[in-house]
Amino acid sequence: MSTTPHLPFGSDDRIGAANYVTEREVLRAIGLVREGRIVDLSLPIGPDSPRIPGINSPLVLSMWSHPLVSQRVHYERGTRNGVAFADERIEFDTHTGTHIDALGHTSANGRMYNGVEVARAVGNHGLTDLDASCIPPLLTRGVLLDLVAVKGRFLEAGEAVEPEDLEAAEGLVPGGVQSGDIALVRTGWARHYGIDSLRYAVSAPGISESASSWLADKKVAAVAGDTMSIEVTPFQDPENSDPVHLNLLVRRGVYMIEQCNLEVPDIRGREFLCCCLAPLFSGATGSPLRLVAVL
């Protein structure tokens, strides 16, 4: 598939499919709240979080300021009430655990979304354009496309989800998939997260390139998945690596939310307010987030 940018929002656009989340979509989504219950769709981030060998760096957490040291520093400053603080330093790949990809995460032939040049936008201190600080808050309608329910089983590694599968899953949700939605694709792979992390990271079912186009044509703001990268792994065509990233992020500007916990019965067969709030990490190619459904 061509990597020529798809530009429905103009040549200066930097938020992609988030443009579909208008005030109307936000109000529609808020109106879906009936119970006031918050359901967490996130997976924990820690040293044992799955990572792709040779690609994702390990998470390292170390204590930067121990309370006993902090107490002494405060005492030397004149404090006498015994107050102390613990502070840590964390080093990790921002694509660890539940996270959202910035539009600048992926490029093809030296260009990112909307034709932004890699040579101009990537420096020693990260991205200078299309970074995680460009990701807007997303409070919009969420729908679960439950492939496990459609298939009657958990999907297997290397199994592709095609448009007809998504259509069948869409039929299980009132109203189907609508403009501005966050479409969450359940394969059942989250059950391996933190249990068999290597298996989770190096193999998975996922949506095909044509299925990603089906979602983008629906004008979703984001596609969320319960696997490492939403991609079919191993790839269907070894010469066409990461086709979903290229299609959604580079060509269509659709955000990808990866490593979600979609084994939550509460969100099945219903529409809900989905909250995706990413910290504004300047220069980062992605951002961890707490993804929640409000029922």
Check if the beta carbon of residue 216 is closer than 8 Å to that of residue 247.
Answer: yes
- Give me the chain's average pLDDT, please: 95
In degrees, to the nearest 5, what angle opens at C-alpha 218 toward C-alphas 213 and 224? 70
DSSP state of 233: B
Show the tokens assigned to 117: 């040049």
- The dihedral over CA atoms of 280, 282, 283, 289, expressed in degrees to the nearest 10, equals -20
Task: Output the pLDDT for position 8.
Answer: 83
> What's the predicted TM-score (pTM) here?
0.95
Task: Output the pLDDT for position 91.
Answer: 93
pLDDT bin (cut points 50, 70, 90) of residue 2 is very low
SS3 content of the chain, % helix, strand, coil (to 5): 25, 25, 50
Q: Hey, which residues does 139 pair with through a beta bridge? A: 275
Q: Each residue of 63-84: pLDDT tens digit?
A: 999 999 999 999 999 999 999 9
As a whole number of angstroms, the distance between CA 23 and CA 233 comes to 37
Pairing state between β 99-101 and 286-288: antiparallel
Show the tokens assigned to 232: 């079919």
As a whole number of angstroms, the distance between CA 265 and CA 262 comes to 8
Determine which helix (DSSP H) or strand (DSSP E) holds 69, and give its type and residue range: helix 67-76
Return the biggest CA–CA distance within the chain: 70
Q: Each residue of 261-270: pLDDT tens digit?
A: 999 999 999 9
pLDDT bin (cut points 50, 70, 90) of residue 186 is very high
Show the tokens assigned to 90: 């964390």
Give yes or no for a cis peptide into 5 (omega within 30° of 0): no
Phi, psi of 222 (to 5 degrees): -155, 155
Show the tokens assigned to 160: 């592709």
Length of the chain: 295
Q: What one-letter code names the amino acid at 207?
A: I
Q: Which domains does the chain have, with CATH numbers?
A: 16-44+95-294 (3.50.30.50), 60-91 (no CATH)
In degrees, to the nearest 5, what angle opens at C-alpha 49 toward C-alphas 239 and 205? 40
Q: Which of 30-34, 44-48, 182-186 has the lowest mean pLDDT?
A: 44-48
As a whole number of angstroms, the distance between CA 106 and CA 121 comes to 12
Q: Over 90: is that where the pLDDT of 144 sits? A: yes
As a whole number of angstroms, the distance between CA 191 and CA 187 comes to 10
Q: How far is residue 23 from each of residues 29, 36, 158, measured CA to CA in Å?
A: 10, 21, 39
